[in-house]
Structure 1
């Protein structure tokens, strides 16, 4: 498995604006603080999310892109790429695999972070169908697509994008975590990033308590000292 100090370039592939902030923004902040370059690839614009139906889908998409951009700045991320797929209708198609493989070849990351393609029966929130579809397509884009020079040959012929092998994938929302990151020093920035998603989080009465409760549980599972916070992933070695 990758040591944190080996990680210099990271690609996060998420279905919606705010997915990474709920799942791994504390880890992202820790990595950027250590000098890693982190890029966000957001598959949809989140146009079916939120509660303010005075906005049409186009207005909601514009708002959520702006919220994600502001949230990313809280944790040191300034390179965001929105693929523009429809919120709530994502499927792990060849087209989506190609689009994610393109970004992998552009960014050339050591680590990819994405959603688990598994359904989590213990906590249904991570199992949104878009999350599972994006996780499945991303894993396929990592292996075999991005590393295979014969896969999507137009990426090389038309765009000059050479094959790239990602060393490891960390899955969010997994029912079987095996990689914990101590985010005690960055938990406040994670919560600030979540607060930037006002259309999604403003109705949560005790956002701090909810998030810190989750992270306290992860820290306990990781054997960290009392008062610590951690984020949880399943690590998949892919190199």
Structure 2
């Protein structure tokens, strides 16, 4: 009998968020444990605001394809809750219910998502709370969104059909370990530095992260026009380089582990990453 794989679920607000915040770490997990780890990449929103040139339906389809291509580089499964950008706060119940269905299907051992102290945009902060909320609800057998919605569907014209998530009463699920990425560019909305629980040395996978980000071709021109960022991939590399200097490596990604109840308190991600885990002041 083959050994059950460890399941890692990374949840981002938009296509390319997962790569930007966790891409090097996910690639590191595949580098270290290709046959032991299964990675799932899930975005809550569909990227509809990510273009000055394309209309919503077009950019939605484009970003779906880009995210699929990126996930394929590390043999990850990709999906989306298909909520429109900047409408997440309005659709938070729908997003949570879809997430509950995904969590019950995947049964992740650990989850990576945005920090609730993100200073970049509202969707990131709302996504953080929705993820922690959905994780809690998913473990409750009596939590059944179908009483409210009958059946939650995420409609995916880009696939030529729709995907339905049916909710049936299930046994209690154990809560996974929950991790938050570093707020970009390293401090919260009040410009307070966030001291991470640990950092991950991604020097050996920084090129894999770059390749994943490069798959999101539509975002280069958009970020240059809308955010005056002439090279967002270089921005990501410089950010990771600054983090690496904190622990004496070339490139690093930072994480905070949710240490409050009821989330699992085992250092699951740290255990998988081994010597790649670094702590400030220990080098």
* Residue of 122, 125, 140 corresponding to 1:129: 122
* Residue of 162, 176, 179 corresponding to 1:170: 179
Contact 2:141/2:170 (CA < 8 Å) preserved in 1? no
Contact 2:101/2:167 (CA < 8 Å) preserved in 1? no
Tell me by how many angstroms 1:132 deviates: 1.0
Runs (4+) of structure 1 exceeding 3 A deviation are: 153-163, 202-209
Contact 1:12/1:40 (CA < 8 Å) preserved in 2? yes
Say if 2:209 is the partner of 1:210.
no
| Distance in 2, Cα, partners of 1:158 & 1:22 | 32
| Distance in 2, Cα, partners of 1:211 & 1:153 | 38
Residue 207 (structure 2) aligns with: 188
| Distance in 1, Cα, partners of 2:134 & 2:177 | 13
Matches for 1:96-111 after TM superposition, within 5 Å: 96-111=95-110
Question: How high is the TM-score relative to the length of structure 1?
Answer: 0.83
Residue 150 (structure 1) aligns with: 142
Greater CA deviation, 94-103 or 192-201? Answer: 94-103
* Residue of 205, 211, 216 corresponding to 1:197: 216
| Distance in 2, Cα, partners of 1:183 & 1:67 | 23
Count of residue pairs brought into register by the alignment: 220
Instruction: Mark the CA change 1:42 to 1:119 in structure 2 (over 3 Å): closer, same or farther.
Output: closer
Instruction: Mark the CA change 1:17 to 1:153 in structure 2 (over 3 Å): closer, same or farther.
Output: closer
| Distance in 2, Cα, partners of 1:13 & 1:102 | 14
Tell me by how many angstroms 1:119 deviates: 4.0
Residue 3 (structure 1) aligns with: none
Instruction: Mark the CA change 1:86 to 1:157 in structure 2 (over 3 Å): closer, same or farther.
Output: closer
Superposed CA offset, 1:141-171 (max 9, x none): 12x2112222227599944654322331111
Contact 1:102/1:161 (CA < 8 Å) preserved in 2? no
Name the SS for the 1:163 alignment partner.
coil
Superposed CA offset, 1:39-87 (max 9, x none): 1111111011123x2x21000100000111111122331x111111111
Name the SS for the 1:90 alignment partner.
coil
Question: How high is the TM-score relative to the length of structure 2?
Answer: 0.71
Greater CA deviation, 16-25 or 163-172? Answer: 163-172
Instruction: Mark the CA change 1:58 to 1:153 in structure 2 (over 3 Å): closer, same or farther.
Output: closer
Give the structure with higher Rg (CA). 2
Structure 2 unpaired stretches of 5+: 152-164, 188-193, 265-283
Instruction: Mark the CA change 1:214 to 1:24 in structure 2 (over 3 Å): closer, same or farther.
Output: same
Residue 60 (structure 1) aligns with: 59
Residue 115 (structure 1) aligns with: 114
